[in-house]
Structure 1
Amino acid sequence: MSENGRSRRIIVVDGVPLPDVLDETMIRGVVHGFYDEIRRDDILGPIFHDRIEPDKWPQHLAKMCDFWSATLLRTSRYEGRPLPPHLAIAGLGEAHFRRWLKLFRATVCRICPPEVAALFMERALRIAHSFRLAVAFSRGETTIGIDPIAEKDL
């Protein structure tokens, strides 16, 4: 492991090597900073407060660090299925996904250099689109017309 918490192997995402500055420390900063915002948010905070007991937050944050580490650094630490808990949230809708993306963008832009913030956002936009489609499908709704959310539209 190097000083920045990432081995020296070159990680390529979408044909581009990841910037060296993107490491476990940065991922931890993004995850913890983002969920600090979530917990204070009027729209998303209540959803999380209803589902995560105060003493369970450390485990949730660790799991989310593992998720983003696996997503961007190609580690194999994340074990789980992120979609089912989201499908269980009655009323989860467009406003929630847009708010999630806005808070996430604010966090990554505050913590990361622009090229790393762009990597996080590209993945977050893909995840949000996938989840939006899955939520509609699970409710028996049409997925026609569910277009990806563009960052410029947040």
Structure 2
Amino acid sequence: MPIGSIPRPGIDEERIRRLVHGFYAAVRDDDLIGPLFLREIQAERWPAHLDKMCAFWSSVLLRTDRYDGRPLSPHLRMAELADAHFARWLELFRRTATQVFDPPAAAAVAGHAERIAQSFRMSIAFHRGRDAGAVQPLP
């Protein structure tokens, strides 16, 4: 386990890798959000993107220092990004988490994703000149 990481029952680097790779396979096949991801991430950049997302989720879930980046920035540049996209993202993420983790760990992992989605949605609303405080959590 990397220095500074926090052990989480049922969550480890291998499961995080399975989560990320399984989730993004589902994303690329999805009719709603797949086209956005495929437009933003060219085929030759997918391996690097998956590595970056493994590092991101390791940092979130295990509190490692593997991720160094700004995850919100690319989302702010997508003018068409809407609640329907975030809802589908969460649906696919939750489904993949339940396939990879036992129920308590899957719930914890999904909870992190829900908070990240809410934070991104509020930031996007703010940057678009809308009332970020009016953004309600997605079901």
In the superposition, the TM-score normalised over structure 1's length comes to 0.85
Q: Report the equivalent of 2:69.
A: 80
Task: Please report how far the alpha carbon of residue 79 of structure 1 lies from its aligned counterpart in structure 2 after TM superposition.
Answer: 0.5
Structure 1 residue 18 corresponds to structure 2 residue 19 = no
For residues 27-83 of structure 1, the C-alpha deviation after alignment (integer angstroms, 9 at most, x for no partner) is 000000000000000001000111111010000000000000011111101010000
Contact 1:32 1:61 in 2 (8 A): yes
Q: Report the equivalent of 1:129.
A: 118
Q: Report the equivalent of 1:112.
A: 101
Task: Please report how far the alpha carbon of residue 110 of structure 1 lies from its aligned counterpart in structure 2 after TM superposition.
Answer: 1.1
Q: SS of the counterpart of 2:132?
A: coil
Contact 2:5 2:64 in 1 (8 A): no
Structure 1 residue 48 corresponds to structure 2 residue 45 = no
More helix by share: 2
Count matched residues: 139
**Residues 43 and 115 of structure 1, relative CA distance in 2, 3 Å threshold:** same
| Cα distance in structure 2, aligned partners of 1:140 and 1:73 | 34
Larger Rg: 1
Supply the RMSD in Å over aligned alpha carbons. Answer: 1.6
Structure 2: 5+ residue stretches without partners: none
| Cα distance in structure 2, aligned partners of 1:52 and 1:128 | 20
- Which fold has the larger relative contact order, with Cα–Cα distance below 8 Å and residues 6 or more apart in sequence? 2
Task: Please report how far the alpha carbon of residue 9 of structure 1 lies from its aligned counterpart in structure 2 after TM superposition.
Answer: 8.1
| Cα distance in structure 2, aligned partners of 1:97 and 1:39 | 15
2:52 maps to amino acid: K
Structure 1: 5+ residue stretches without partners: 1-5, 12-16
Structure 1 residue 28 corresponds to structure 2 residue 17 = yes
| Cα distance in structure 2, aligned partners of 1:146 and 1:78 | 27
| Cα distance in structure 1, aligned partners of 2:90 and 2:53 | 15
